[in-house]
A and B are shown apart, each in its own frame.
Chain A
C-alpha cells in the first residue's frame, strides 16, 4: 500500500478467521454464515476500513469554505449570529450523528464498544411544562371519562337489576304453586308453566293414556318493565256444561276474573305509559302475580273439565249396552243421554268468553243460550210454591231443575270423576262399575225425588197439622223425608205427670226414595196404656209399604188420618171411654149400646181440605148400622159432615163425647 510521507501508516491486522455463529436454534443446531468467496472477503475487509476521519476532514474543508462565503456576505452581523448559532447547532448535530454512525458500524463489525457518556440535550423549560400539562390534562380527562362510564354502568345495571328482580320474584312466587320448566336448548331460552298432571295417570291402565294437550304448556314472557306475562291462547279455555234438553237455563259458571285478564295476556297492550315505569311498585307486581295465578287456575280447571268430558265420552262409547246409559246424540264436543223416560241430558264443552260481563237475567231464569256466562240472580229467587194454574207438580219440577239443581249435578259429575282419577293415581284401575251409569241414575233419582218433594209439599201446605222434615242421606241416589204429625198436649192431667211423660207428642211418617222406588213407613205410637193392653213386645208398630208416584198422596193421607184416629183412640182410652178403632174410624160405645163413629175422609185432590171428618150418629131406626161414606146429609140423617177440623177441635169434640158417654169417665 502506498503511503504518503506525512501520514503515518496504519496497518490493520485481521483477527484470526473464526467461524462465527449466525444463529442457534432450540435443539442446538448451529447455523454458520455461508462461506464467503475470496471476493467477498476482500470486500468486507474494505468495508472495515474506517473512512470516517477522511470524511470528517472533507466536511471540515467544506465548512471552512462556507464560512468564508458567509463572512463575505454583506448582511449584518445580526444575521450572522443566528446563522452562526444554527451552524453551530448543525455542526454539533453532525458530530453526534457521526459518532453514532461510527458506533453503529463498529457494532456491525462485531466489535465491542464502550460507551463513555451519553448526554441528552437539555430540554427547554417551557417545553417541559407543556409536556407535563398535556399529560396531566389527558390523565384527568381519562379519569373523568372513567367516572362517567362507571356512573352510566351503575344506572343501567340498576334498571336491569330491578327488572330482573321483578321477573324472578314473580316467577318464584308462582313457582310455589305451579310447575315451572326451563328450556335451555332451542332458539330461545325461557321458562314455561307446565299444567299437565302426569301423576293422575297410572301406568297400568294403558287405555287411559292421555297426551298433554297443547294448552298445558304455557310460555312465560317478560314485558319491557320486567313484569311477568304469559302467552294466553285466545278463546281456547273451555268448560263443561250440563243442561237438560228443552231447558233454556245455562248453568256454566265461569269465575269472573275477566276484567283483569286483559292486563297480563300477551297480545294486548299493557296500558301503562312509559313514564310510569319508575313507579312500578310492589302492589303492581303482586297484582300481576295474582292475575297470572287466576289465569293459570282457569286454564288448569278447564284442562280438567276437558279430561272429564273425554272420560265420559269414553265410558259412554264403551258401555253403551249396559244399563243406565242411553246415548242419543254425539258430536264434536257434545253428548246427549236419555235419563229415565222423559228427560234428556246434554253434556257439552263450551268456550268460556274471555271478555264477558255479568248479564242480568230475568226472573224466569232464561239465559242467552250461546253465552256461557250466567249471573246469579235467578239462583237467589225463592222456590215458588206450587200454586200455578197449570199442573202444579209438572211445572214445579221443571222450575226446580233449573240452575241450582243442574249446577249441583254438574259439580257432582266433576267430583266423582276426580275421585276416580285420584284412586287411579294411588292404585291401579279401581272404579267398580261405570261412573257414568251411576251418574245417570243419580240424575234420574234427582228428577224423581223432586217430583215426590213437590207432592209432599203440596200435601203439607194443605193439611195444617203436618210438618215436612228433610233428612240428609249423604247418598246421591237416596232421599228421605218425614211427615211429622204434632198432636196437641192434653190439658187434663191424670195421675200427676206420669202419663204426660209417656205420651208421644208426634207421629212420624217416613218417606224414603231409593233410585226411583218410594217406600213409606208409618209410625204408630206406643203409650203405657197400649203396653198395658198386652202389646209390650211390640212397642212400635210400623207399617211399611212401597207405592207409586200416583198413589203416594192417597197413601200418605191415609197414614196421617189413621195416626190421628189412633191418637184420638188413645186419648179416649186415657179418659176412660170405651172405644175401638178401625182403619179410619173411631167407634165410641155409648150408654145405650149404640156406637158413635168418627170417620176420617181422605181426598188428595181436594184443594182445601185433604182430611175431612164425618160423624155417624146412631139413628133411631135400625138401619143406622149401615153407613155409607158417600151419602149426603139429606140421604142419611145419621151422617154429619164436620169438614176439616184441627186437632184441638177434634180433641174437644172427643171430650164432649166423653161427657156424653158418662161411662164412669172422668172429665
Chain B
C-alpha cells in the first residue's frame, strides 16, 4: 500500500495495516511455538523461550500501536465540503482547454503547410 501522507509519513490506514500484518505474524509464531512444544523429541527450552519472548514483544507492540490509533481516531465526517460544483467547473474548463488546444494545433498545421509550400 503506497498511501502516504502529505509529509511522507505513513497514513493511519497504513499503520493499521501494519498492525494487522503483525497479528498475522503473531499467529504464525504461536503456531511455530506449538510445533516446537509438540516436538517428538524434547522441546528445546531456549528456542521456546525465544519464541515466547518474540510473542510477548509483538503483543506489546500491537497493543501500543492500537492504543495510539484508537486515541487518535476522529469522527467520520461524510464529505462535508462537497466540491462537486468545482468539479463540474473543472470539467468544463478541461473541455475548453481541449478545444483550444485543438484549435492551436490546427493553426500550427496551417503555418506548417504555408511554410512548407513556400
Contacts and interface: CB of A to CB of B under 8 A. Distances in A.
Partners in one complex: yes
A180 interface: yes
Interface in A106-150: 139-144, 146-150
Interface residues of B, number: 43
B21 interface: yes
Interface string A362-404: 0000000000000010011111000000000000000000001
Contacts of A282: 1-2
Nearest to A307: B88
A216 to B, nearest CB: 10
B31 A154 contact: yes
A384 B96 CA distance: 23
B61 interface: no
B91 A157 contact: no
Nearest to A200: B85
Contacts of A641: none
B112 to A, nearest CB: 10
Contact of B88 (A146, A169, A379, A418): A418
A383 B110 CA distance: 9
Question: What secondary structure prevails in chain A residues at the interface with B?
Answer: helix
Nearest to A195: B84
B91 A154 contact: no
Contacts of A304: 88, 91
B92 interface: yes
A180 B25 contact: no
B84 A408 contact: no
B103 interface: yes
A415 B92 contact: yes
B38 A157 contact: no
A300 B79 CA distance: 16
Interface string B37-52: 1111000000000000
A609 interface: no
Contacts, number: 132
Nearest to B95: A411
B82 A179 contact: yes
B28 A151 contact: yes
A601 B84 CA distance: 62
B82 A172 contact: no
A386 to B, nearest CB: 15
Contact of B3 (A169, A180, A425): A169
A188 to B, nearest CB: 19
A132 B105 CA distance: 91
A198 B82 contact: yes
27 contacts: A140-B38, A143-B38, A146-B31, A147-B34, A147-B37, A150-B27, A150-B28, A150-B31, A151-B28, A154-B27, A158-B24, A165-B17, A173-B3, A179-B78, A179-B79, A197-B84, A199-B84, A200-B85, A282-B1, A297-B91, A379-B102, A381-B106, A382-B110, A407-B99, A411-B99, A415-B96, A425-B85
